[in-house]
Amino acid sequence: MSDPYGNSPYYQKRDQAGFNWVALLVGALVLGPVLAIGLPVLILGIYGSVSVDDDGTAFVWLLVLGIVLPFLLPVPLLFRKGSRPWGVGILIGVAITVIVIGGLCAGLIYLLSQEGAG
């Protein structure tokens, strides 16, 4: 029989601190979209300013880096319990931003392809 006062060997105390919803919301609504949009634009802007004539492989690698890096930067924040809401929020914000921008681009491509057909 367990003791209702917490003296049982199986009883585990819960953390008194709650989940940091502010960090989650700020990460998802502000930092994630800024990272998802700003980092690829920054990387491609730097490439465009220092570009040399080549076969385009550097452009492809930097484009892939600009798409993947926003997902990798918040991963170290997931390891510590105190910074975990920040990491989760930023990942959610990056993922939602990439999905929305992808949908907008797909719709724009569809509309542009239908314009000449009619």
75 class by beta-carbon count within 10 Å (0-12 exposed, 13-18 middle, 19+ buried): exposed
Confidence of residue 47 (pLDDT cuts 50, 70, 90): confident
pLDDT for 18 equals: 72
Instruction: List the one residue out of 48, 45, 90, 40 whose CA is nearest residue 65.
Output: 40
3-state DSSP assignment of residue 25: helix
What pLDDT is stored for residue 99 in this prediction? 95
- Encoded tokens for 74: 């918040």
Q: How many residues does the chain have?
A: 118
Q: What is the DSSP string of 42-105?
A: HHHHHHHHH--S--SHHHHHHHHHHHHHHHHTTGGGGTSTTTHHHHHHHHHHHHHHHHHHHHHH
- pLDDT, residue 19, reads 76
What is the average pLDDT across 90-117?
91
Confidence category of residue 37, pLDDT binned at 50, 70, 90: very high
Give residue-wise pLDDT tens across range 48-96: 888 776 777 888 888 899 899 999 999 999 999 889 999 999 999 999 9
Helix axis angle, 84-115 to 57-72, nearest 10°: 140
7 has a pLDDT exceeding 60: yes
